Amino acid sequence: MIDNVYSKADVAEFKLWMEWASRFVIVTHISPDGDAIGSSLALYHYLAGKGKSVSVVIPDSMPDFLSWLPAAENAISYKEQPELADKLLQETDVVCCLDFNVPTRIGNVAESMLQSKAKKILIDHHLNPGDFCDLLLSRPDASSTAELVFQFICALGDYSEVNNQVATCIYTGMMTDTGGFTYNSNHSRIYHIISFLLKNNIDKDAIYRNVYNNYSESRLRLMGYVLHKKMKVFPEMSTALITLSDKELKENHYKKGDSEGFVNLPLQIKGIKFSVFLREDADENIIKASLRSVGDVPCNIFASTYFNGGGHKNASGGEIHNSLKAAEAIFFKGMEEWSKSDDECIKELFKKS
Ligand code: 5GP
Ligand code: MN
């Protein structure tokens, strides 16, 4: 039922690690999303169920909308407890790198992770993985890392160990990385897996509510402000841009995570195929860019060319150390350059409808 996407050699190698290793540390990316946390906690519950000592280290903090996940409270924030996280990373037998492709995606955790003498495994679905792990399970075709963790547990022969906690975390990752199964979600394999997870009594409706209907009043009001005042629509480029300055965020009682998903909103407009959201992050002194696209428009190329970032074809991000005004100018320069592109997938944006 579930395709085996891993080579026998890779699976056999990890099985050997499982025989001698007792301590595991799972690390995932900065500003973790539902897939980062879902896949990490799924693996955490699986390994803990096998009697291993397991820790999850996240570079910054657990977002509110995921704090209900089983064992989310056990995750260690590198920002808050760097000594503990460093100690765990140096003393562990195995480091599992989930949902990121290169060490820079884990911020300050990178140095400690790279220095650790532990065996390292990467399970991820981003393009162009770096060569920093002993086992590299990179599958850019997968819609989420959570899906890959499920397939990995199955490949290890532990299908039956996917209990309700593991299943809940897997489903959360799969759901969030596909926008509630609205993009990147056409493969039948996804629904085979969900069918199995439902047999483990996951409450998929409650998971949806916990993630998507659990926002603060300030978020909804900020969204109203964004839609009314801040969304610029460029029909001639099939594109929309949203910017939010630190001042605007403060005026709207912004809390971390409040702008999650805003970048998707303009795609609800007929004809809009590319959306860019630029948010000033005064704490980090950066402008954070989030990009989304529809169909073959490669927003990750825009992210890597203009915002030092990357990601998936339809969902990517990046950041620049500059002012919001400068970031906006970079966006317009990028669009100007894109309007002259020979790439059919990019030209799509500038066709008259
Ligand atoms: P989001 O817009 O939700 O922050 O990020 C969407 C996707 O873009 C992430 O899943 C990740 O793949 C990618 N991404 C976000 N920020 C960055 C970044 O700064 N650098 C790179 N390389 N990828 C990013
Ligand atoms: Mn992911």
pLDDT of residue 284: 86
* Shared-domain flag, residues 142 and 222: no
pLDDT of residue 4: 81
CATH code of the domain in which 80 resides: 3.90.1640.10
Is 268 among the domain residues? Answer: yes
Task: Tell which atom from ligand 1 comes closest to the C-alpha of 300.
Answer: 8
Phi then psi for 216, rounded to 5 degrees?
-80, 160
pLDDT of residue 183: 86
pLDDT of residue 304: 97
* Shared-domain flag, residues 238 and 251: yes
**Domain with 271 in it:** 217-350
Query: Reduced to 3 states, what is the DSSP secondary structure of residue 215?
Result: coil
Domains: count for the chain: 2
pLDDT of residue 54: 98
* Shared-domain flag, residues 225 and 194: no
pLDDT tens digits, the chain, 353 residues: what are they? Answer: 567 899 999 999 999 999 999 999 999 999 999 999 999 999 999 999 999 999 999 999 999 899 999 999 999 999 999 999 999 999 999 999 999 999 999 999 999 999 999 999 999 999 999 999 999 999 999 999 999 999 999 999 999 999 999 999 999 999 999 999 988 899 999 999 999 999 999 999 999 999 999 888 999 999 999 999 999 999 999 999 999 999 999 999 998 888 989 999 999 999 999 999 999 999 889 999 999 999 999 999 999 999 999 999 999 999 999 999 999 999 999 999 999 999 999 999 999 87
Task: Tell which atom from ligand 1 comes closest to the C-alpha of 290.
Answer: 2
Q: Which of 307, 302, 351, 345 is nearest to 326 (CA)?
A: 307
* Shared-domain flag, residues 46 and 94: yes
Q: Pick from 212, 243, 259: which residue ends a domain?
A: 212
Minimum CA distance residue for ligand 1 atom 18: 318
Tell me how far apart the alpha carbons of residues 334 and 332 are, in angstroms, rounded to a whole number: 5
For residue 234, the CA-to-ligand 1 centroid distance in Å is: 23
Instruction: Considering every ligand atom shown, identify the ligand nearest to the alpha carbon of residue 125 and give its number.
Output: 2
Is 1 among the domain residues? Answer: no
Tell me how far apart the alpha carbons of residues 298 and 346 are, in angstroms, rounded to a whole number: 7
Tell me how far apart the alpha carbons of residues 315 and 196 are, in angstroms, rounded to a whole number: 27
Cα 319 from chain centroid? 15
For residue 61, the CA-to-ligand 1 centroid distance in Å is: 16
* Shared-domain flag, residues 258 and 129: no
pLDDT of residue 1: 52
Pocket lining for ligand 1, CB < 6 angstroms: 33, 126, 263, 290, 309-312, 315-319
Torsion of CA 257, 262, 264, 267, to 10 degrees: 180
Q: Pick from 212, 230, 261: which residue ends a domain?
A: 212
